[in-house]
Amino acid sequence: MPRRLVLLLLAAVLSPALARAADAPQKFVVFFQQWSAALDDAAQDVIAHAADAAKAQRTAAVHVNGFADPTGSKRANELLTDLRAQMVVDQLQSDGIDPKRIRQRGHGSVQFALTSQESRRVEISIGGR
């Protein structure tokens, strides 16, 4: 089979997969201590990497979603997830991200699979549809 034909076939097969990968959002996760919205050094590093990724994708939306573990009341966890998300948004803005690009939401408490630390997080997603 001629090389040109093989290259054309590979391009036809890989092109949709590459387009889907390009559309997939980049995700970053910031973890928190119980009943805290404080950003430690590790959290600030993650947010800085997210800000760099957002700067590289100048037109992409930045979604910031806060979560809490199931400990405590529903209302307390809603407020805590809003605060955690706001802390991350504030740091993204300090790192140079235009506030108009950021969409923020607190989700309240969620269940976890292994440890409650998994639930105490803010997810930053950049790009995607």
Residue range 10-39, pLDDT digits in tens: 455 555 544 445 568 999 999 999 999 999
The closest alpha carbon to 35, from 83, 98, 2, 95, belongs to 83
For every residue of 46-57, DSSP letters joined together read HHHHHHHHHHHS
Q: How do the domains of the chain map onto residue ranges?
A: 26-126
- DSSP single-letter state for residue 60: -
CATH architecture type of domain 26-126:
2-Layer Sandwich (3.30)
Residue 129 has pLDDT above 60, yes or no: no
User: In this structure, what token pair is assigned to residue 42?
Assistant: 């590790």
How large a percentage of the chain has pLDDT more than 70?
Answer: 81
Collapsing DSSP to helix, strand or coil, 1 comes out as coil
- DSSP single-letter state for residue 96: T
Residue 53 has pLDDT above 70, yes or no: yes
26 forms beta bridges with 126
Distance of alpha carbon 9 from alpha carbon 29, whole angstroms: 38
Residue range 56-70, pLDDT digits in tens: 999 999 999 999 999
Q: How confident is the model at residue 79 (pLDDT cuts 50, 70, 90)?
A: very high
Q: Return the pLDDT at 113.
A: 85
Q: Return the pLDDT at 20.
A: 46
